[in-house]
Amino acid sequence: MQLPPDRMRYLMRQYIEGRCTREEMEELYAAIASAKDEELSGLLEDEFNATGPGPGVQEVDWDHLFNRIVKTRPATPTRRITAWWKYAAAAAVILLAGVGGFYWYQQQQVKPAIAMDQASRPAVQDAQPGGNKAVLTLADGSTVTLDSAGNRLMQQGSTAVHQQGGTLQYNAAGSNADVSYNTLTTPRGGQFQLTLPDGTKVWLNAASSLTFPVAFTGRERAVTLTGEAYFEVVHNAAMPFKVHVEGMEVADLGTRFNIMAYHDENAIKTTLIEGAVGVSDGRKEALLKPGQQAVLDKRSTAGLKVQAADIDQAIAWKNGEFFFDHTSIYEIMRQVSRWYDVEVGYQDSLNAYLSGNIRKNVNVSEVFRMLELAGDVRFKIENKKATVMK
Protein backbone atom coordinates (compact mmCIF):
# COMPACT_ATOMS: atom_id res chain seq x y z
CA MET A 1 0.00 0.00 0.00
CA GLN A 2 1.89 3.06 -1.25
CA LEU A 3 0.99 6.40 0.34
CA PRO A 4 2.09 9.92 -0.57
CA PRO A 5 4.75 11.20 1.85
CA ASP A 6 2.44 13.90 3.19
CA ARG A 7 -0.21 11.30 4.05
CA MET A 8 2.38 9.09 5.75
CA ARG A 9 3.64 12.00 7.85
CA TYR A 10 0.08 12.90 8.78
CA LEU A 11 -0.62 9.35 9.98
CA MET A 12 2.62 9.31 11.99
CA ARG A 13 1.66 12.60 13.64
CA GLN A 14 -1.78 11.24 14.47
CA TYR A 15 -0.20 8.16 16.04
CA ILE A 16 2.38 10.12 18.03
CA GLU A 17 -0.26 12.47 19.44
CA GLY A 18 -2.66 9.62 20.23
CA ARG A 19 -5.36 10.77 17.82
CA CYS A 20 -5.33 7.87 15.34
CA THR A 21 -8.70 6.41 14.51
CA ARG A 22 -8.92 2.65 14.05
CA GLU A 23 -9.06 3.12 10.27
CA GLU A 24 -6.02 5.45 10.29
CA MET A 25 -4.01 3.00 12.39
CA GLU A 26 -4.79 0.14 10.00
CA GLU A 27 -3.80 2.39 7.10
CA LEU A 28 -0.52 3.27 8.81
CA TYR A 29 0.41 -0.35 9.55
CA ALA A 30 -0.42 -1.39 5.99
CA ALA A 31 1.72 1.45 4.61
CA ILE A 32 4.67 0.48 6.82
CA ALA A 33 4.43 -3.15 5.71
CA SER A 34 4.64 -2.21 2.02
CA ALA A 35 6.96 0.81 2.07
CA LYS A 36 10.42 0.68 0.53
CA ASP A 37 13.23 0.76 3.06
CA GLU A 38 14.75 4.03 1.79
CA GLU A 39 11.38 5.75 1.65
CA LEU A 40 10.40 4.69 5.16
CA SER A 41 13.75 5.52 6.75
CA GLY A 42 13.58 8.97 5.14
CA LEU A 43 10.13 9.61 6.56
CA LEU A 44 11.23 8.45 10.00
CA GLU A 45 14.27 10.70 9.84
CA ASP A 46 12.06 13.65 8.95
CA GLU A 47 9.96 12.97 12.03
CA PHE A 48 13.00 12.58 14.28
CA ASN A 49 14.83 15.69 13.07
CA ALA A 50 12.00 18.05 12.17
CA THR A 51 8.96 17.52 14.34
CA GLY A 52 10.02 16.06 17.66
CA PRO A 53 7.47 14.69 20.14
CA GLY A 54 3.94 15.99 20.12
CA PRO A 55 2.10 17.53 23.06
CA GLY A 56 1.85 15.21 26.05
CA VAL A 57 4.39 12.74 24.68
CA GLN A 58 7.32 11.93 26.99
CA GLU A 59 10.76 13.25 25.99
CA VAL A 60 12.64 11.05 23.51
CA ASP A 61 16.29 11.17 22.43
CA TRP A 62 15.38 11.31 18.72
CA ASP A 63 18.90 11.08 17.25
CA HIS A 64 19.88 8.13 19.46
CA LEU A 65 16.59 6.40 18.72
CA PHE A 66 16.90 6.81 14.96
CA ASN A 67 20.54 5.70 14.96
CA ARG A 68 19.68 2.63 17.04
CA ILE A 69 17.10 1.57 14.45
CA VAL A 70 19.09 2.50 11.35
CA LYS A 71 22.32 0.85 12.54
CA THR A 72 20.58 -2.54 12.62
CA ARG A 73 19.76 -2.35 8.94
CA PRO A 74 21.88 -4.84 6.95
CA ALA A 75 24.01 -3.67 4.01
CA THR A 76 22.94 -6.55 1.74
CA PRO A 77 19.46 -7.57 2.82
CA THR A 78 18.01 -10.93 2.00
CA ARG A 79 14.30 -11.39 1.64
CA ARG A 80 14.05 -12.45 5.28
CA ILE A 81 16.15 -9.57 6.61
CA THR A 82 14.36 -7.01 4.45
CA ALA A 83 11.13 -8.03 6.15
CA TRP A 84 12.91 -7.83 9.50
CA TRP A 85 13.88 -4.18 8.76
CA LYS A 86 10.26 -3.32 8.05
CA TYR A 87 9.22 -4.69 11.42
CA ALA A 88 12.00 -2.63 13.00
CA ALA A 89 10.53 0.40 11.27
CA ALA A 90 7.10 -0.50 12.56
CA ALA A 91 8.62 -0.69 16.02
CA ALA A 92 10.10 2.75 15.45
CA VAL A 93 6.62 4.19 15.01
CA ILE A 94 5.71 2.79 18.42
CA LEU A 95 8.98 4.11 19.82
CA LEU A 96 8.05 7.55 18.51
CA ALA A 97 5.04 7.47 20.79
CA GLY A 98 7.45 7.41 23.73
CA VAL A 99 6.28 4.07 25.08
CA GLY A 100 8.87 1.82 23.46
CA GLY A 101 8.56 -0.84 20.83
CA PHE A 102 10.00 -4.06 19.61
CA TYR A 103 9.90 -6.55 16.80
CA TRP A 104 9.68 -10.24 17.36
CA TYR A 105 11.12 -13.09 15.40
CA GLN A 106 11.19 -16.87 15.74
CA GLN A 107 14.12 -19.12 14.86
CA GLN A 108 12.02 -20.64 12.10
CA GLN A 109 10.35 -17.62 10.51
CA VAL A 110 9.45 -13.97 10.90
CA LYS A 111 5.85 -12.85 11.21
CA PRO A 112 4.58 -9.27 10.94
CA ALA A 113 3.14 -7.48 13.93
CA ILE A 114 -0.60 -7.18 13.41
CA ALA A 115 -2.89 -4.76 15.18
CA MET A 116 -5.08 -6.84 17.46
CA ASP A 117 -8.78 -6.31 17.98
CA GLN A 118 -8.86 -5.15 21.56
CA ALA A 119 -12.55 -5.94 21.87
CA SER A 120 -11.80 -9.64 21.27
CA ARG A 121 -9.11 -9.86 23.94
CA PRO A 122 -10.12 -11.47 27.22
CA ALA A 123 -9.91 -9.35 30.35
CA VAL A 124 -6.68 -9.93 32.23
CA GLN A 125 -5.37 -9.07 35.65
CA ASP A 126 -2.51 -6.62 35.70
CA ALA A 127 0.68 -5.82 37.57
CA GLN A 128 2.16 -2.37 37.91
CA PRO A 129 5.84 -1.66 37.19
CA GLY A 130 8.36 -1.59 40.00
CA GLY A 131 9.64 1.55 41.67
CA ASN A 132 12.02 2.95 44.28
CA LYS A 133 11.84 0.64 47.27
CA ALA A 134 14.38 -1.21 49.39
CA VAL A 135 15.20 -2.42 52.88
CA LEU A 136 18.30 -1.15 54.70
CA THR A 137 19.74 -3.54 57.29
CA LEU A 138 21.79 -1.62 59.85
CA ALA A 139 24.83 -2.78 61.81
CA ASP A 140 22.74 -3.83 64.81
CA GLY A 141 20.47 -6.00 62.65
CA SER A 142 17.51 -3.61 62.68
CA THR A 143 15.88 -2.76 59.36
CA VAL A 144 14.52 0.40 57.75
CA THR A 145 12.03 0.31 54.88
CA LEU A 146 12.84 2.81 52.14
CA ASP A 147 10.64 4.17 49.36
CA SER A 148 10.27 7.19 47.08
CA ALA A 149 8.52 9.27 49.73
CA GLY A 150 11.11 8.90 52.51
CA ASN A 151 13.20 11.75 53.88
CA ARG A 152 15.17 10.77 56.95
CA LEU A 153 18.56 11.14 58.60
CA MET A 154 20.26 8.24 60.44
CA GLN A 155 23.61 7.76 62.12
CA GLN A 156 25.96 4.77 61.79
CA GLY A 157 29.02 5.37 63.96
CA SER A 158 30.51 8.65 62.77
CA THR A 159 28.80 8.30 59.38
CA ALA A 160 25.61 10.24 58.64
CA VAL A 161 23.10 8.40 56.44
CA HIS A 162 20.57 10.52 54.57
CA GLN A 163 17.64 9.16 52.58
CA GLN A 164 15.86 11.49 50.19
CA GLY A 165 13.32 9.85 47.92
CA GLY A 166 14.85 6.98 45.97
CA THR A 167 18.43 7.76 47.00
CA LEU A 168 20.53 6.90 50.05
CA GLN A 169 23.75 8.79 50.83
CA TYR A 170 26.53 7.96 53.31
CA ASN A 171 28.72 10.82 54.53
CA ALA A 172 31.65 9.61 56.63
CA ALA A 173 33.18 12.05 59.14
CA GLY A 174 36.11 11.36 61.43
CA SER A 175 37.49 7.90 62.08
CA ASN A 176 35.61 4.68 62.74
CA ALA A 177 37.57 2.47 65.13
CA ASP A 178 35.30 -0.52 64.56
CA VAL A 179 33.96 -0.55 61.03
CA SER A 180 30.42 -1.89 60.81
CA TYR A 181 28.47 -3.03 57.77
CA ASN A 182 25.09 -2.17 56.26
CA THR A 183 23.16 -4.07 53.58
CA LEU A 184 20.81 -2.47 51.06
CA THR A 185 18.34 -4.97 49.61
CA THR A 186 15.83 -4.36 46.85
CA PRO A 187 12.80 -6.66 46.52
CA ARG A 188 11.35 -7.97 43.28
CA GLY A 189 9.74 -4.90 41.77
CA GLY A 190 12.16 -2.50 43.48
CA GLN A 191 15.28 -0.48 42.70
CA PHE A 192 17.33 2.09 44.62
CA GLN A 193 20.31 4.43 44.28
CA LEU A 194 23.11 4.58 46.84
CA THR A 195 26.09 6.87 47.40
CA LEU A 196 28.81 5.09 49.38
CA PRO A 197 31.02 6.83 51.97
CA ASP A 198 33.76 7.47 49.36
CA GLY A 199 31.33 9.14 46.93
CA THR A 200 30.96 6.09 44.67
CA LYS A 201 27.45 5.89 43.22
CA VAL A 202 25.59 2.59 42.91
CA TRP A 203 22.30 1.87 41.16
CA LEU A 204 20.80 -1.36 42.52
CA ASN A 205 18.44 -3.32 40.27
CA ALA A 206 15.44 -5.38 41.42
CA ALA A 207 15.96 -8.46 43.63
CA SER A 208 19.53 -7.44 44.50
CA SER A 209 21.60 -6.61 47.57
CA LEU A 210 24.81 -4.77 48.35
CA THR A 211 26.75 -5.18 51.60
CA PHE A 212 29.25 -2.41 52.38
CA PRO A 213 31.07 -0.75 55.30
CA VAL A 214 29.68 2.50 56.69
CA ALA A 215 33.21 3.92 56.32
CA PHE A 216 36.12 2.72 54.20
CA THR A 217 39.38 2.03 56.06
CA GLY A 218 42.49 -0.03 55.40
CA ARG A 219 44.03 -0.80 52.02
CA GLU A 220 40.91 -1.41 49.91
CA ARG A 221 37.25 -0.55 49.55
CA ALA A 222 35.37 -3.85 49.29
CA VAL A 223 31.66 -4.46 48.80
CA THR A 224 29.64 -7.64 48.14
CA LEU A 225 26.92 -7.84 45.50
CA THR A 226 24.12 -10.25 44.68
CA GLY A 227 21.83 -9.55 41.74
CA GLU A 228 22.68 -6.57 39.53
CA ALA A 229 24.14 -3.11 40.02
CA TYR A 230 25.68 -0.27 38.04
CA PHE A 231 28.72 1.47 39.57
CA GLU A 232 30.28 4.90 39.08
CA VAL A 233 33.43 4.57 41.17
CA VAL A 234 35.45 7.42 42.64
CA HIS A 235 39.00 6.41 41.83
CA ASN A 236 41.58 6.14 44.61
CA ALA A 237 44.82 4.39 43.59
CA ALA A 238 45.87 4.05 47.24
CA MET A 239 42.65 2.24 48.14
CA PRO A 240 41.30 0.14 45.21
CA PHE A 241 37.56 -0.45 44.96
CA LYS A 242 36.56 -4.13 44.72
CA VAL A 243 33.23 -5.84 44.15
CA HIS A 244 32.85 -9.45 45.26
CA VAL A 245 30.16 -11.51 43.53
CA GLU A 246 29.55 -15.24 43.24
CA GLY A 247 32.68 -16.68 41.60
CA MET A 248 34.06 -13.31 40.43
CA GLU A 249 36.00 -10.34 41.79
CA VAL A 250 35.96 -6.98 40.00
CA ALA A 251 38.69 -4.45 40.84
CA ASP A 252 38.17 -0.85 39.75
CA LEU A 253 40.89 1.13 38.04
CA GLY A 254 38.74 4.29 37.70
CA THR A 255 35.56 3.49 35.86
CA ARG A 256 31.85 3.04 35.23
CA PHE A 257 30.66 -0.56 34.93
CA ASN A 258 27.69 -2.90 35.33
CA ILE A 259 27.65 -6.30 37.06
CA MET A 260 24.87 -8.82 36.51
CA ALA A 261 25.09 -11.76 38.93
CA TYR A 262 21.61 -13.13 39.57
CA HIS A 263 21.47 -16.63 41.03
CA ASP A 264 18.89 -17.75 38.44
CA GLU A 265 20.94 -16.63 35.42
CA ASN A 266 23.43 -18.94 33.70
CA ALA A 267 26.30 -16.43 33.65
CA ILE A 268 27.84 -13.60 35.64
CA LYS A 269 28.59 -10.60 33.42
CA THR A 270 30.71 -7.53 34.08
CA THR A 271 30.35 -4.85 31.39
CA LEU A 272 32.76 -1.91 31.22
CA ILE A 273 31.36 1.42 30.05
CA GLU A 274 34.27 3.74 30.85
CA GLY A 275 37.76 3.45 32.35
CA ALA A 276 39.22 0.05 33.21
CA VAL A 277 38.54 -2.90 35.51
CA GLY A 278 40.44 -6.02 36.40
CA VAL A 279 38.30 -9.16 36.60
CA SER A 280 39.22 -12.50 38.19
CA ASP A 281 37.44 -15.82 38.75
CA GLY A 282 40.24 -17.21 40.95
CA ARG A 283 41.92 -18.97 38.03
CA LYS A 284 42.01 -16.41 35.23
CA GLU A 285 42.44 -12.66 35.26
CA ALA A 286 41.46 -10.16 32.58
CA LEU A 287 41.76 -6.41 32.11
CA LEU A 288 38.67 -5.00 30.41
CA LYS A 289 38.62 -2.07 28.01
CA PRO A 290 35.52 0.10 27.46
CA GLY A 291 32.96 -1.81 25.42
CA GLN A 292 34.12 -5.21 26.66
CA GLN A 293 32.35 -7.72 28.88
CA ALA A 294 33.72 -10.46 31.13
CA VAL A 295 31.47 -13.53 31.22
CA LEU A 296 31.68 -16.40 33.69
CA ASP A 297 29.41 -19.25 32.55
CA LYS A 298 28.21 -21.19 35.59
CA ARG A 299 27.50 -24.26 33.43
CA SER A 300 31.04 -24.49 32.06
CA THR A 301 34.50 -25.21 33.47
CA ALA A 302 36.13 -23.04 30.81
CA GLY A 303 36.38 -20.09 33.18
CA LEU A 304 36.38 -16.40 32.43
CA LYS A 305 35.77 -15.20 28.87
CA VAL A 306 36.10 -11.66 27.49
CA GLN A 307 33.88 -10.54 24.62
CA ALA A 308 32.51 -7.42 22.95
CA ALA A 309 29.56 -5.94 24.85
CA ASP A 310 26.31 -4.35 23.80
CA ILE A 311 26.38 -1.34 26.15
CA ASP A 312 22.77 -0.34 25.43
CA GLN A 313 21.57 -3.78 26.41
CA ALA A 314 23.77 -4.07 29.51
CA ILE A 315 22.61 -0.84 31.15
CA ALA A 316 19.09 -0.59 29.72
CA TRP A 317 17.59 -1.43 33.14
CA LYS A 318 19.32 1.61 34.68
CA ASN A 319 17.88 3.78 31.91
CA GLY A 320 14.35 2.50 32.52
CA GLU A 321 14.11 0.07 29.61
CA PHE A 322 13.91 -3.56 28.69
CA PHE A 323 16.37 -4.12 25.83
CA PHE A 324 16.54 -7.46 24.05
CA ASP A 325 18.81 -8.64 21.24
CA HIS A 326 17.89 -12.12 20.02
CA THR A 327 16.98 -12.93 23.63
CA SER A 328 15.10 -16.10 24.52
CA ILE A 329 11.60 -15.84 25.94
CA TYR A 330 12.85 -17.54 29.12
CA GLU A 331 15.47 -14.87 29.81
CA ILE A 332 12.96 -12.16 28.93
CA MET A 333 10.45 -13.54 31.39
CA ARG A 334 13.06 -13.68 34.17
CA GLN A 335 13.56 -9.95 33.71
CA VAL A 336 9.82 -9.31 33.59
CA SER A 337 9.30 -11.46 36.68
CA ARG A 338 11.86 -9.51 38.72
CA TRP A 339 10.54 -6.08 37.73
CA TYR A 340 6.81 -6.78 38.05
CA ASP A 341 7.11 -9.27 40.93
CA VAL A 342 5.10 -11.94 39.12
CA GLU A 343 5.61 -15.69 39.16
CA VAL A 344 6.09 -17.21 35.70
CA GLY A 345 5.05 -20.63 34.44
CA TYR A 346 5.07 -22.23 30.98
CA GLN A 347 2.25 -24.24 29.47
CA ASP A 348 4.24 -25.10 26.33
CA SER A 349 7.88 -25.51 25.33
CA LEU A 350 8.84 -22.36 23.42
CA ASN A 351 11.57 -21.64 20.89
CA ALA A 352 11.08 -17.89 20.56
CA TYR A 353 13.53 -14.97 20.54
CA LEU A 354 13.01 -11.21 20.65
CA SER A 355 14.93 -8.07 19.73
CA GLY A 356 13.95 -4.51 20.56
CA ASN A 357 13.09 -2.38 23.58
CA ILE A 358 10.21 -1.08 25.66
CA ARG A 359 9.99 1.35 28.54
CA LYS A 360 9.69 -0.25 31.98
CA ASN A 361 7.14 2.25 33.29
CA VAL A 362 4.14 0.49 31.71
CA ASN A 363 1.95 -2.18 33.33
CA VAL A 364 2.82 -5.80 32.64
CA SER A 365 -0.31 -6.20 30.50
CA GLU A 366 1.19 -3.70 28.04
CA VAL A 367 4.41 -5.75 27.84
CA PHE A 368 2.35 -8.90 27.21
CA ARG A 369 0.16 -7.13 24.67
CA MET A 370 3.17 -6.07 22.64
CA LEU A 371 4.67 -9.56 22.76
CA GLU A 372 1.38 -11.01 21.60
CA LEU A 373 1.34 -8.80 18.51
CA ALA A 374 3.51 -11.44 16.85
CA GLY A 375 0.71 -13.97 17.22
CA ASP A 376 2.75 -16.99 18.41
CA VAL A 377 2.96 -16.34 22.15
CA ARG A 378 0.08 -15.80 24.57
CA PHE A 379 -0.05 -14.83 28.24
CA LYS A 380 -2.47 -15.36 31.05
CA ILE A 381 -2.05 -13.66 34.40
CA GLU A 382 -3.96 -14.60 37.53
CA ASN A 383 -3.10 -13.72 41.12
CA LYS A 384 0.37 -12.43 40.19
CA LYS A 385 1.18 -15.59 38.23
CA ALA A 386 1.84 -15.30 34.51
CA THR A 387 1.48 -18.33 32.27
CA VAL A 388 3.24 -18.30 28.87
CA MET A 389 1.82 -20.45 26.09
CA LYS A 390 1.70 -20.82 22.32
Residue finishing a domain among 314, 343, 359: 314
Which of 42-46, 77-81, 279-283 has the lowest average pLDDT?
A: 77-81
pTM of the model: 0.72
Q: Please tell me the distance from the alpha carbon of residue 49 to that of residue 70, in angstroms, as a whole number.
A: 14
Residue 310 included in any domain:
yes
The pLDDT confidence band at residue 247, using thresholds 50, 70 and 90, is: confident
Is 92's pLDDT higher than 70? no
pLDDT at 50: 55
Residues 139-160 have pLDDT tens digits of 999 999 999 888 999 999 889 9
Both 49 and 179 in a single domain? no
Edge to edge, the sheet with strand 378-382 lists: 343-346, 385-389, 378-382
Per-residue confidence at 370, pLDDT binned at 50, 70, 90?
Answer: confident
> How far apart are the C-alpha atoms of 378 and 288, rounded to whole Å?
40
Q: Of 258, 282, 314, which closes a domain?
A: 314
358 and 102 Cβ atoms separated by less than 8 Å: yes
Q: How far is 231 from 248, CA to CA, in rounded Å?
A: 16
Compute and round to an integer the Cα radius of gyration of the chain.
23
What pLDDT, on a 0 to 100 scale, did the predictor assign at position 293?
97
Give the structural domain span for 247: 131-314
- 10 and 137 share one domain: no
Q: What is the mean pLDDT of residues 68-75?
A: 38
Alpha carbon separation from 12 to 66, 92, 126 (Å, rounded): 15, 11, 29
Q: What is the CATH number of the domain that holds 143?
A: 2.60.120.1440
Do 94 and 135 have their domain in common? no
Q: How far apart, in whole angstroms, are the C-alpha atoms of residue 192 and residue 373?
A: 32
Residue 352 covered by a domain:
no
* Same-domain check for residues 91 and 181: no
Can you give the pLDDT at residue 174? 66
pLDDT at position 358: 83
* pLDDT above 80: residue 169: yes
Same structural domain, 63 and 146:
no
- Helix ranges (H only) for the chain are 5-16, 22-34, 37-46, 62-70, 79-96, 311-314, 329-340, 364-372
Q: Which tops the pLDDT comparison, 163 or 98?
A: 163
pLDDT for residue 57 is more than 70 = no
The total domain count for the chain is 2
Q: What is the mean pLDDT of residues 204-231?
A: 96
Tell whether 187 and 307 lie within a shared domain: yes
The reply to whether 16 and 162 lie within a common domain is no
Same domain for 138 and 91: no
Query: Alpha-carbon distance 203 to 229, whole Å?
Result: 5
**What average pLDDT score do residues 77-97 get?**
38
Task: Specify the higher pLDDT residue, 110 or 42.
Answer: 42
Asked if 93 and 142 sit in the same domain, the reply is no
pLDDT of residue 94: 43
How much is the pLDDT for 366? 87
Residue 143 or 253, more confident: 143
The mean pLDDT of the chain is 78
Give whole-number Cα distances, 82 to 35, 40, 372, in Å: 11, 12, 22
Q: Which residue has the higher pLDDT, 267 or 96?
A: 267
Domain finish residue from 272, 289, 314: 314
pLDDT at 51 over 90: no
Residue 331 confidence class, pLDDT cut points 50, 70, 90: very high
In a domain, 70, yes or no: yes
Same domain, 141 and 85: no
Residue 13 resides in a domain: yes
8-12, 145-149, 202-206, 385-389: segment of lowest average pLDDT: 8-12
Neighbours of 102 (CB within 10 A): 24
Asked whether residue 370 is domain-assigned, the answer is: no
Q: Is residue 68 part of a domain?
A: yes
Q: Are residues 154 and 57 in the same domain?
A: no
In a domain, 31, yes or no: yes
Q: 164 and 205 share a domain?
A: yes
Residue 284 counted as domain residue: yes
Longest CA–CA span in the chain (Å) reads: 75
